[in-house]
């Protein structure tokens, strides 16, 4: 039976949120089917290039420095070295490697990233709201968002209040997302559900619905700090929620699986799923992203193999 909860928005208007139960057996069967598709030759090359355009390169460590962020931004702008690009230029099936979608950093590093990416179309995203736990007062979390936006962040990645959600206090979760959305001003808001802590697919579906109704521009699986992070079944639940929300409201919401997607083969499985569930409209960086920094080098190695017929050494690419 479909679950319906009743909340209120900031105007005091009633918001009814419906969350259908998830058939886990059928979900896994369908999710597994996407990994069986055969993508070869030119279609594979096209998919690899598209994956690069959808990657958010990320550095979110206590040891982040200005130099490290600048290096990551350089990687975002020029995924391969000039020497390697010259080696591949002119070979069949090769075309210039595109830039990634965004670089994601802490609020304190937004200005550094913004300066390093000036003159490009690469977005600067910033995790805020006391990422990854979110366990500080709301007033401080909102200031965290405002600081990042003031420094030039194009996108804000927030974490939901999992404690409130798991306690059944859905109104607090909704209210906080609404307030963060307001603090974002013109920046896009990605709402991180941290699906690894939600424990069931039914809860993932409900959290997705709450986030979208509260104003999310994107919904995102994970912080990358909790295991399990992104999985195909969890992403499928969230994609179906997005599609149902679009059919119901006409609003287009983006999707970002993050954490655990480490190789090109996995990434192509996700593209297949998005194409078959959502349609090609969602196969753009505006509506689909990978939060997977380590993914980029594997994709580059696969492109190198497709073009040259041989594998590149790991050290052919930067290790960030």
Known active-site residue 86: no
Give the whole-angstrom CA distance, residue 184 versus residue 271: 29
Known active-site residue 70: no
Give the whole-angstrom CA distance, residue 49 versus residue 164: 40
Known active-site residue 157: yes
Which residue in the list 157, 175, 217, 298 is annotated as catalytic? Answer: 157
Q: Is 154 helix (H, G, I), strand (E, B) or coil?
A: coil
Which residue in the list 203, 256, 298, 301 is annotated as catalytic? Answer: 256
Neighbours of 284 (CB within 10 A): 14
Give the whole-angstrom CA distance, residue 286 versus residue 109: 23
CA 55-297-288 angle, 5° bins: 15
Question: Which of 160, 238, 167, 239 is CA-nearest to residue 204?
Answer: 238
Structure tokens at 32: 């597994």
Q: Is 214 helix (H, G, I), strand (E, B) or coil?
A: helix
Give the whole-angstrom CA distance, residue 256 versus residue 194: 12
Which residue in the list 50, 123, 220, 301 is annotated as catalytic? Answer: 220
- Is the Cβ–Cβ distance between 254 and 288 less than 8 Å? yes
Catalytic residues: 157, 220, 256
């Amino acid at each position: 039976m479909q679950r319906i909860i009743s909340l209120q928005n900031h105007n005091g208007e009633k918001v009814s949120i419906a969350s259908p139960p998830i058939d886990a057996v059928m979900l896994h069967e369908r999710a597994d089917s996407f990994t069986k598709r055969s993508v070869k030759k030119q279609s594979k090359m096209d998919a690899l290039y598209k994956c690069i355009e959808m990657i958010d390169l990320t550095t979110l460590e206590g040891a982040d420095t200005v130099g490290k962020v600048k290096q990551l931004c350089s990687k975002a702008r020029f995924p391969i070295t000039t020497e390697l690009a010259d080696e591949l230029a002119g070979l069949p099936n090769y075309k210039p490697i595109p830039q990634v979608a965004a670089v994601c950093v802490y609020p304190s590093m937004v200005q550094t990233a913004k300066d390093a990416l000036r003159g490009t179309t690469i977005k600067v995203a910033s995790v805020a709201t006391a990422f990854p736990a979110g366990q500080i007062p709301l007033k401080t979390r909102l200031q965290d968002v405002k600081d990042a936006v003031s420094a030039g962040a194009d996108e804000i990645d927030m974490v939901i209040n999992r404690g409130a959600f798991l306690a059944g206090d859905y109104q607090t979760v909704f209210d906080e997302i609404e307030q963060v959305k307001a603090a974002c001003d013109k920046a896009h808001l990605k709402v991180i559900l941290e699906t690894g802590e939600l424990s069931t697919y039914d809860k993932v579906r409900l959290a997705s619905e709450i986030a979208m109704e509260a104003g999310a521009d994107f919904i995102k699986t994970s912080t990358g700090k909790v295991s399990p992070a992104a999985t195909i079944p969890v992403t499928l639940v969230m994609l179906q929620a997005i599609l149902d929300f679009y059919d119901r409201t006409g609003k287009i919401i983006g999707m970002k699986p993050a954490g655990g997607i480490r190789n090109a083969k996995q990434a192509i499985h996700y593209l297949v799923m998005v194409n078959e569930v959502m349609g090609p409209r969602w196969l753009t960086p505006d509506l689909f992203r990978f939060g997977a920094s380590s993914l980029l080098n594997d994709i580059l190695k696969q492109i190198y193999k497709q073009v040259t017929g041989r594998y590149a050494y790991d050290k052919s690419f930067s290790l960030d």
